[in-house]
Amino acid sequence: MLFNSYEYLIYFLPLALAAYFLLGRRATWAVGWLVACSLFFYGWWNPKYLPLILASIAFNFAIGRALHRGSQPVLSLSKGHAKALLACGIGANLLLLGVFKYADFAVRNAADLSGLPLALPHIVLPLGISFFTFTQIAYLVDVHRGQAKEPSLLNYALFVSFFPHLLAGPILHHSEMMPQFASPSNKRPQSFHLAAGLFLLVIGLVKKVCIADPLAPVAAVGFDHPEALSALGAWLSVLAYTLQIYFDFSGYTDMALGAARMFNIQMPVNFDSPYHSTDIREFWRRWHMTLSRFLREYLYIPLGGNRLGDAHTAVNVMATFLLGGLWHGAAWTFVAWGALHGAGLVCLRAWERTGHRLPRAIAWAVTFLFVMVTWVFFRASALPAAGAMLRAMAGASAADAESWSEALRHGLAPDAQGSALVAAAALAIGLVVVALPRNSNAMALDFRPTWPRGAAVAVGLVWSVLQLGKVTPFLYFNF
Amino acid sequence: MRWFGAVLTITLACLAAAAAFVVWVDPFQQYHLASRYPPRFYFLHHRYINPGLARNQAYDTVVSGSSIMENTPNDLVAKACGGSSVNLSMPAMSASEQRLMLETALASQPVKRVIAVLDFNAFAGGIEERQDVAGPLPRYLYDRNPFNDLPYLLSWDVLAKAWRIVNGDTGEKFTSDPNGAWFWGNVVRFGREQVLRGLDLENLNARYRQPRRTFDGMRASFEHNLLPILAAHPDTEFDLVWPPYSILVWLDFAQRDQVQVSLDFKRYVFEATRGLPNVRVFDLQGDAAITHDLDRYDDIYHFDPAVNERLIEAACHGRYRVDASNIGEFERKLREQVAAVATPAGLAAVVSGPSFVR
């Protein structure tokens, strides 16, 4: 189920919320209800993957219990055994991820390298597997470090499956969530959290529906037909995607945080105006912050971080970003994207050692351009397509403005002119919103339930809901 | 809590008002046929409007097919077959979409006869193939569950259409004739020049870009989508009709090695349905008087409304019917025609003059 769907907004969320608070006096029932809701939410798309997430939860809970060296350990483990068990747990999680997410990629590359006609397994990627796998790896590591423990399977199931974060994060730490789930006061409706949560949810919905979605077809036309792009067309396509991915993902996160807040649960912030960044390190402190935190704490630092000299640090940075890139998708484009960001960070460290500082405006422009250009690899269907887009951006394409207009007319049909106008408006509004000093987190932080805000929330919610149901006449292409 | 409650109440009130307005006007006729205003059959909105027609219009005969059947007015069917008819054809309809449409109609009211035209291309792709070129099929309109109609009830696009109807704004492209809701035969030109324009006769699929079909794939689609419906409604007569594409379609098949798979599929459909007393198969694909006369076509697939009339009359009066005794003859004739058109002289005869092989 998607956050920007009728079934979620009109049926699922209100029902889940109402029943949760009605059951609030009985903590176990309330938690059980929320787990049931979360599994229903997960299974809505394809129930056949429910056993997978349930097995994953059960397995990691069991490993966590075995690792737990608290007052009542299930097993008494030596340090070595605990480490082996942790490795086994992490290995199983990575294997699950590998099979479901990377099997096709691995087989395709093996076939390309060997020349053998290997059949692709065509395994459908279960929703959210990257997120719930990483969440649970972090949990196991934290248990091993003595920083987490969870004796209740139901609570653990809620921690992993809590629907606001299940499909696209944020990636949670056990320690920041479980006290909130355990708190009895959080199981009673709190008007301020309900209001602030609704406010944040509507901001996210408006970001997604009114900015990201209208930009999507413009970006798609450009990335689907890079050979038809003039330099201006290429830059505008990439700019459209740069804004689309930010408003889409941060909008989704705002909706997740807003929904959780309505349940009196505060989830960690995931985006903090990343396009304000003046260097690439700052970008990664503001973009998908919980993934950055995960990669830093569970990969970069265990690899040695920056403690082993410059060369080793550079290797660690590159390894972290290559794997981070691959985590986003099983394709060489994501690896290239991660490699570019890793290389960007390595270069930044080298530049900082020279003692030079760029003026803030130039530093911002360089960072924004770098991020934009690297999005080409993130969005392109394959490396050659990324190359074609970069050539077009460099003005080396033979296409002229007319061919891009033609591609847009085709791609935005049936109402190409109307869609282009809406996309242009979304682009302009998106740029203004990106430039604003206060983002949705700041607005939620000092939220006050005033009537003008109430009116804005009602208008935003009504307008966004009405935008969800698009009527798309059949395009008569090739029959 | 006052703020939250008030915002939620206002929001829900606005949305409820929008939904009530849509139900009242009902631009796609989902809950009632248009009676207070001339109906609007919006250009290329078949997939939205047809399920409403299936539920709300009175009929005992259904015409189902792709765009080639859109030029079949209801009164033509009534004249040829008796009763009252509804045309639920959709452009580029897949077998899966045909199934959904027929299921909706058959669940809505007693249906005596279904005239279902079979397109080879409808059986290409997977068994649940949909022609989601511009967006997903509005699946929620094809059932009787009102709770999943929210994309219709709470859509700005629909709301705007309802508003334009109330205001008498006729700026959109639509027709208002319920007798020929999707009729387009009066707005295009038919003729050999039109058919041959921009066509590469040595590579016909360069223009049409049709996917390659396999017999197994087509059979699986038929077994999944149509056969269960035929078997589940023994009181409904199903006339399965192979439509008379121009012979150039068969030339395209020959160029792509798709002739045999097409003939095999036709044979299979006959064999699969011959045990069902409520199913009859008709085949107009070997009638050279139609298929070799390119002046009857708009492109290599689409024929003029007079051919629709011939097709409906054939089904209702039992002409062109395939049975165990003549199926071989139908095949032989078509094979010969395909072999002939695949020769330079045969092709020249088809494309150059009004005379045709009889």
**Alpha-carbon distance A22 to A30, whole Å?**
8
| A474 → closest Cβ in B131, B151, B209 | B131
Mean pLDDT of B178-206: 91
Provide the total of helices (H) and of strands (E) in chain A, helices listed first.
23, 0
Please give the DSSP secondary-structure letter assigned to residue A309. Answer: -
Chosen from A190, A472, A476 to mutate, greatest number of chain B CBs within 10 A: A472
Whether B350 shows a pLDDT value over 50: the answer reads yes
> What is the reported pLDDT for B115?
96
List Cβ neighbours of B154 (8 Å cut-off, separation of 6 or more).
A6, A10, A465, A466, A468, A469, B15, B18, B19, B22
User: What is the β-pairing status of strands B85-87 and B61-64?
Assistant: parallel
Mean pLDDT of B279-305: 94
The pTM is what?
A: 0.86
- B123 neighbors B213 (Cβ within 8 angstroms): yes
| B208 → closest Cβ in A474, A476, A478 | A478
**Alpha-carbon distance B336 to B321, whole Å?**
20
Q: What is the pLDDT of residues A262-274, one digit of tens each?
A: 999 999 999 999 9
Separation of CA A2 from chain center: 14
> What is the reported pLDDT for B357?
46
Peptide bond into B146 cis (omega under 30): no
Q: Which amino acid is at B242?
A: W
- A471·B48 Cβ contact <8 A: yes
| B121 → closest Cβ in A189, A198, A479 | A479
Chosen from B1, B2, B4 to mutate, greatest number of chain A CBs within 10 A: B4
Q: Measured between CA atoms, how close is B324 to chain A, in angstroms? A: 32
Positions of A annotated as catalytic residues are 328
Q: What is the pLDDT of residues A94-140, one digit of tens each?
A: 999 888 888 888 898 888 888 888 887 777 778 888 889 989 999 99
- A191·B44 Cβ contact <8 A: no
- B4·A195 Cβ contact <8 A: yes
Q: Chain A to chain B, count of Cβ pairs less than 8 Å apart?
A: 109
Q: What are A100-104's contacts with CB under 8 Å, separation 24+?
A: A100/A52, A100/A125, A100/A126, A100/A129, A101/A125, A101/A129, A101/A130, A101/A330, A102/A326, A102/A330, A104/A330
- B67·A478 Cβ contact <8 A: no
> What is the reported pLDDT for A184?
87
User: What is the β-pairing status of strands B174-175 and B113-117?
Assistant: unpaired
For residue A144, give the 3-state DSSP assignment: helix
- Does B151 contact chain A (CB < 8 Å)? yes
Determine the length of chain A: 479
> Per-residue DSSP letters for A268-304?
PP--S-GGG-SSHHHHHHHSSHHHHHHHIIIIITTTT
- B49 neighbors B181 (Cβ within 8 angstroms): yes
Intra-chain end-to-end CA distance of chain A, in Å? 33
Higher-confidence residue: A388 or A67? Answer: A388
| A476 → closest Cβ in B44, B156, B208 | B44
Q: What is the pLDDT of residues B109-166, one digit of tens each?
A: 999 999 999 999 999 888 877 765 545 689 999 998 889 999 999 999 999 999 999 9
> Per-residue DSSP letters for B112-167?
SEEEEE--GGGGSS-TT----SSS---GGGGSS-GGG-HHHHT-HHHHHHHHHHHT
Whether A144 shows a pLDDT value over 80: the answer reads yes
Considering only CA atoms, give the Rg of chain B: 22
- Does B232 contact chain A (CB < 8 Å)? no
- B341 neighbors B202 (Cβ within 8 angstroms): no
The CA-based diameter of chain A, rounded to the nearest angstrom, is 73
User: Interface of chain A against chain B, CB under 8 Å?
Assistant: 6-7, 10-11, 189, 191, 194-195, 198, 413-414, 449, 451, 454, 457-458, 461-463, 465-479
> B247-255 and B344-352 helices cross at what angle (nearest 10)?
150
- Which of residues 12 through 41 in chain B touch A, CB cutoff 8 A? 14-15, 18
- Does B6 contact chain A (CB < 8 Å)? yes
For residue A444, give the 3-state DSSP assignment: helix
Higher-confidence residue: A410 or A382? Answer: A382
